[in-house]
Amino acid sequence: MKKLTSHSLTVAAIALATIGVRDVHSAALVVPPDPSTLPAKELVSAACSKCHGVNGVSISPLFPILAAQVPGYIEAELKLFRIRGRSDPRGRAFMWGIARGLTDEQIKGVAQYFSSQPPVKGSGSSNPVLAGKGKALYENGAPERDIEACTVCHGHSGEGINTQPRLAGQHRDYVAIEMLQYRSGLRENKVMQHVTEKMTDDEIAAVVDYVSTL
């Protein structure tokens, strides 16, 4: 496997490796005593905002930006967390406890709240050549290697489609971590595992760099 060509991927991989079991205890500190009794906006303020920000714009690049995220995606992921259907390390550490007591109504409310927040614009790329390679992969895939174009699920501008997530404006390091987790099998998703397992480190770095411009 080639060495990573993006500093962001290196940072992401290191950050991923250093996330430990101790995060479970950190997660417990932000869980309301009885989250099922809180309306969506209060739930966001009491729990979600600690990692994702009140307006869905997380300060740490290790936590996803949820502002303007596709509501169907947020709903689907929260329901997966609720049944412990996602076992990736940070998801397990931070979200299993928070989601366990949420009702369908609360999940829908939280999803609608975050999806209605103003979107974040991409930060741009300092490596136009790398971003250009990522753009080609994002828009066209690599049919000869059975790598599907990202636009099929995430839209031409990274806006997300149906229950597939918005990538536009997302933290660069977060996207890198998730792609690496899909490829390693730490995060379960048959489509993403199928795509990423065929991608080199350089290709993942290129797609991450391009996505950061959306």
* Residue 113 DSSP class: H
Architecture field, domain 128-211: Orthogonal Bundle (1.10)
Domain ranges of the chain: 19-115, 128-211
Average pLDDT over residues 184-189: 95
Q: Do domains 19-115 and 128-211 have the same CATH topology?
A: yes
Is residue 23's pLDDT more than 90? no
Element (H, E) at 179: helix 172-184
Comparing 13-27, 62-76, 175-189, 198-212, the range with the smallest average pLDDT is 13-27
What pLDDT, on the 0 to 100 scale, is given for residue 18? 43
- In the DSSP assignment, the letter for residue 142 is B
pLDDT at 38: 81
pLDDT reported for residue 124: 83
Res 198 pLDDT > 70: yes
| The pLDDT of residue 197 | 97
79 pLDDT band, cuts 50/70/90, is very high
In the prediction, which pLDDT does 3 show? Answer: 46
Please state the rounded mean pLDDT for residues 132-152.
97
pLDDT in the model for residue 87: 83
Question: What is the pTM (predicted TM-score) of this model?
Answer: 0.83
pLDDT, average across residues 14-31: 43
Q: How confident is the model at residue 33 (pLDDT cuts 50, 70, 90)?
A: low
Residue 148 structure tokens: 């599907």
Q: CATH number of 19-115: 1.10.760.10, 3.30.1360.80, 3.20.20.70, 3.90.230.10? A: 1.10.760.10
Residue 1 and residue 201 in contact, taking contact as beta carbons nearer than 8 Å: yes
| Average confidence score pLDDT of the chain | 87
pLDDT at 31 over 80: no
Question: Which pLDDT score is estimated for 82?
Answer: 96
Distance CA 203, CA 131 (A): 10
Residue 77 confidence (pLDDT) above 80: yes
